[in-house]
Amino acid sequence: MSNTSFDAVIVGGGLAGLYALHRLRGLGFKVRVYEAGSGVGGTWFWNRYPGARCDVESMEYSYSFSNDLQQEWKWPERYGTQPEILRYINHVAERFDLMRDVQLDTRIVSAVFDEGANRWTLTTDKGETVTAPFCIMAAGNLSTPRVPDFKGLERFEGNWYHTGLWPKEGVDFTGQRVGVIGTGSSGVQMIPHIARQASHLHVFQRTANFSLPARNAPLDPEKEREHKATYVDRRRAAYDTPFGIAGYLPPTKSALEATPEERERAYEAKWAEGGSISFLYSFNDLLVNKEANDTASEFVRNKIRGIVKDPATAELLAPKDHPIGTKRLCLDTNYYETYNRANVTLVDARRAPIEEITTRGLRTRDAGYEFDSIVFATGFDAMTGALREIDVRGVGDEKLADKWAAGPRTYLGLMVAGFPNMFVITGPGSPGVKSQMILAIEQHTDWIAGCLEKMRAAGFARIEATEESETRWVEHVNAVADSTLYPLANSWYVGANIPGKPRVFMPYVGGVHTYTRKCNEIARKGYEGFALS
C-alpha cells in the first residue's frame, strides 16, 4: 500500500487522458494517469472486433496539438482501422514520452474530496491511494460495455464475446454457427466480416439502424497533400463548425424548398460520396424538421430495399421508428449486401424478443437457435457508466451516483456542482460525442489547462461550478435538444439501451462552434458561473 501525491491525477489513458497528461505536464504539473487496460488507447484498445474502424475520416480523427505529428503521420486509408488508430496512439505516447507517467492495469475504484485540504484522494483496485488537488476524469463515454442480463448466460457451453471487450488475440469464426445480438455501429461494422467466416450467421435485430456507405478506400495522395498543406487552418476552422470538422459547406436550403428531383440528386450525390456528416449536410433542416427528415429517411429506406433481395428482410432492415440521424448514423462496407448471402439470417428480436441463453445457444419467444459462439454488440452504459462505477464523493460526502440518479447534471459538461476541482473531459452536457471526438478532447483539455494556469497565477486553490450555473446549463442542454428531432429516438444519447436508466438527453447538441464560444467567453469573464477561492 502506498500513498503518493501529485498535482493532478487523470483517470483513463485513452485519447483524452493522454492529451491531458501532455498538456498539464507542459504547465509543469506533476501528473499521473491511471488506466485499467494493459495498454493505452481506451476505446481503441478494447474494441478490437473484426471490422472495427473509425467513422470520422483519418485526416480529421487525429490530434492537432503538434503540427510535426500531423504532418509526419501517414494514414493509409480514408477511415482508420482499429489497429492503425491504436498504433497511432502508441506512437504519440512514445513520441511525447508519456508512458513514464501512466500506470497501466490499474482501475480507480473511488475518488473522495477532502474539503479541508481541497484535495482528492483516489483509491485503486490494488489498494493504493493517491492524492492531488485536481482530479481529471477522462474515463470515456462508451467504455462500460453492457451485456443484457439474459437468463442463462452462465450455462452457455460455447464461447461468447462483447465487442467492447474483444480478446487481444482475435477470434476465428471459420466454420462456426454464430449469433450476433445488436445492430448499432459495432454490429453493422462486424457483421459482414463474421458472415465471411461463419458457416451460418444469425443476426438478432431489435431496432433497425440507418447505415450509409463509408466508401472507404486508400487515401488519395493528392488529397493528403492538399489536406496537410492547410492542416493548421482546417483545424482552426473546425472549431467554427457544428460537428468540429471543417471542409463541408454548411447547407443553406431546406429539404422542403427543393423539388423532389433536386432532393433525389442531392441525396444520390451524398450517398455516392460516403460519410455521415456529408449526408446530414444535404439540407439545413434534416435534424430539426420531421417532414424534411422524412425525405432523407425514405431515400435511405429505398436504397436498402434496392440492395437487399429478399423483400421481407429488406423491410425489416429499413428503419421506421426514428428519423435518420437522431441515433448515431452507422457507416458500413457491404452491410446490407451481407443479407443477400445464403449463410446469413436476420431475426426480428423486436417481434420475438430473446428470452434466454441456453446451453447450446439461445431461445427467443418463438424459436430456439444453436450456436458455437454468441457475440454481443449490445453497446455501453454510455456517458455516465464509467463515472458511476467509481465511488466518487464530493462536498459533504455526496455521492456522484446519487446526485446523478435522475440523470447527469454538469456545467458545460466540464464540472459538477458539489465536486470541486474535479474536471470531466467530454462528459454529459458537452458536445463531445456529437463531434469529432479528438477535437472536443483538445478543446476541453486546453480550457481546463487554461483554467488551472490562471488559478495558479491568481493563487486560487479551489474551483467549483455553482448550483445555479449547473441548473441553467442542464436546462439549456435540454432546451436545445428539444428544438431538434434527437429526442424522438430511443438511443444511448437518452440512455434508452439500459433498462431503468433515467431518460435524459445527455449530449449538448448546440454544436462545437456555439459551445467553444461559450467556454471561451466564460473564461474571459473570469470563469463566470464557477466559484473560485
Residue 182 in the binding site for ligand N01 (CB under 6 A):
yes
Q: Binding to ligand N01 by residue 328, rule CB under 6 A? A: yes
Q: Which stretch binds ligand N01 (CB under 6 A): 64-72, 180-188, 461-469, 507-515?
A: 180-188
Q: How far is the CB of 165 from ligand N01 (least distance, A)?
A: 11
Q: Which of 181, 392, 400, 416 binds ligand N01 (CB under 6 A)?
A: 181
Select 353 or 526, whichever has its Cβ closest to ligand N01.
353
Taking CB under 6 A as the criterion, the residue among 93, 132, 316, 354 binding ligand N01 is 354
d(CA 58, CA 45): 17
Nearest to 275 by CA among 43, 76, 86, 54: 54
CB-nearer residue toward ligand N01: 23 or 78: 78
Residue in 92, 130, 142, 362 binding ligand N01, rule: CB under 6 A: 142
By the rule CB under 6 A, 162 interacts with ligand N01: no
Residue 277 found at the interface with ligand N01 (CB under 6 A)? no
**Do 425 and 444 form a contact (C-beta atoms < 8 A)?**
yes
Query: Does residue 204 belong to the site contacting ligand N01 (CB under 6 A)?
Result: yes
Give yes or no for residue 333 binding ligand N01 (CB under 6 A): no
CB nearer to ligand N01: give 280 or 449: 280
**Exposure b/e, 366-380, CB count within 10 A at least 16 = b:** eeebebbbbbbbbbb
Q: Say whether residue 62 binds ligand N01 (CB under 6 A).
A: no
Query: Which triple of cell numbers denotes residue 319?
Result: 428503419
Q: Does 84 bind ligand N01 (CB under 6 A)?
A: no
Number of residues that bind ligand N01 (CB under 6 A): 27
295 contact partners, CB below 8 Å, separation of at least 6: 255, 256, 263, 267
Among 87-95, 102-110, 186-194, 397-405, the segment contacting ligand N01 (CB under 6 A): 186-194
Q: Give least dist CB 163 to ligand N01, A.
A: 6
Q: Binders of ligand N01 among 477-506, rule CB under 6 A?
A: 492, 497
SS3 sequence of 246-298: CCCCCCCCCCCCCCHHHHHHHHHHHHHHCCHHHHHCCCCCCCCCHHHHHHHHH
Q: In what order do the strands lie in the sheet with 134-137?
A: 102-103, 31-34, 8-11, 134-137, 422-424
Q: Which of residues 42-61 bind ligand N01 (CB under 6 A)?
A: 53-55
CB 317 within 8 A of CB 336: yes
Asked if 174 contacts 197 with a C-beta cutoff of 8 angstroms, the reply is: yes
Q: Out of 20, 33, 245, 349, which residue is the one contacting ligand N01 (CB under 6 A)?
A: 349
* Separation in Å, CA 218 to CA 58, 76, 91, 118, 204: 11, 6, 21, 52, 32
| Residue (of 186, 214, 215, 204) closest to 344 by Cα position | 204
Q: Are 160 and 374 in contact (CB under 8 A)?
A: yes
What angle do helix axes 231-238 and 221-229 make, rounded to 10 degrees? 70
Compose the 374-403 pattern: x for residues touching ligand N01 by CB under 6 A, - for all others: ---xxxx-----------------------
- The CB-of-354 to ligand N01 minimum distance in angstroms stands at 5
Q: Can you give the binding site for ligand N01, defined by CB under 6 A?
A: 53-55, 142, 148, 163, 181-187, 189, 204, 206-207, 328, 331, 349, 354, 377-380, 492, 497
